[in-house]
Homo-oligomer: A and B are copies of this chain.
Amino acid sequence: MRIQVINPNTSDAMTHKIGLAAQAIARPGTQIIACSPEDGPVSIEGHFDEAIATLGVLEEVRKGREQQVDAHIIACFGDPGLLAAREYATAPVIGIAEAAFHMAALIATRFAVVTTLSRTRIIAEHLLQRYGFSELCTSVRCIDLPVLALEEGGPELIERMIDQARRARDEEGAGAIVLGCGGMADLPRQLSEAIGLPVVEGVSAAVKLAESLVDLGLTTSKHGDLADPIGKPFKGRFAYLSR
């Protein structure tokens, strides 16, 4: 089984980290193909970055489709381009935010999200609403460090995360923590030990869900809104998409 893990931003260090996290959890026989777009922002910290990164995600999906991967993972917590990718791909597509929410819902009645910047909270809130998890999530909490600061790590990072997670646990009754950034893929154990709650990380969750769908022989419904894109002319630099 081959699973393509797409880091939607263009930071190679993060792609590397995400790929390691994915491979570490993949079962023997599952090959992880970590990649990231050639074009786009080095980090995704808002709606604008996400919109631009979506183009790169779809390009990577196209490559993955040509390579006949068995599943695609979109490894940014906003699940950028998820529904477009489901139209475009033939194999199943999973976003790491949805993956983490689904897993958290299986182990706790209430969970909280700990993410990077306050300005991206709305992105998580919109996803929670669209996926149906608004009632299950006690809050989306932000450490207010930029995405790329996760690369540097350091004690301040984990301390801020512990602080937010602890408040979610003690003030809001959260029973599990969802990590709200693909760049946090190396942090769940440390956080879990510090606060005594299970911590769900989206990249690893998505790998397991991808394997599961493949095993089940389930893929995106091609009846209705997720059917292949309707063939039509595209103009300009997207002319190559015309069908």
Q: Which residues on A are within 8 Å of B, measured CB to CB?
A: 10, 25, 27, 37-43, 45-52, 54-55, 58, 81, 83-84, 86-88, 92, 94, 98, 102-103, 105-110, 118-123, 126, 129-136, 146, 169, 173-176, 196-198, 200, 204-205, 208-209, 211-213, 215-216, 218-221, 223-227, 229-230, 232-238, 241
B58 touches A107 (CB 8 A): no
Residues of B within 8 A of A47 (CB): 83-84, 86-87, 225-226
B175 touches A234 (CB 8 A): no
Residues of B within 8 A of A110 (CB): 122, 224
Residues of B within 8 A of A233 (CB): 41-42
Residue among B50, B215, B232 making CB contact with A41, cutoff 8 Å: B232
Q: A52-B55, A58-B51, A229-B46 are in contact. Are A107 and B236 (CB under 8 A)?
A: no
A132 touches B130 (CB 8 A): no
B131 touches A129 (CB 8 A): no
Residue among B25, B41, B200 making CB contact with A241, cutoff 8 Å: B41
Q: A215-B208, A221-B175 are in contact. Are A236 and B39 (CB under 8 A)?
A: yes
Residues of B within 8 A of A81 (CB): 51
Residue among B105, B135, B213, B227 making CB contact with A106, cutoff 8 Å: B213
Shortest distance between the CB of A224 and any CB in chain B (Å): 5
Q: A234-B41, A234-B52 are in contact. Are A131 and B130 (CB under 8 A)?
A: no
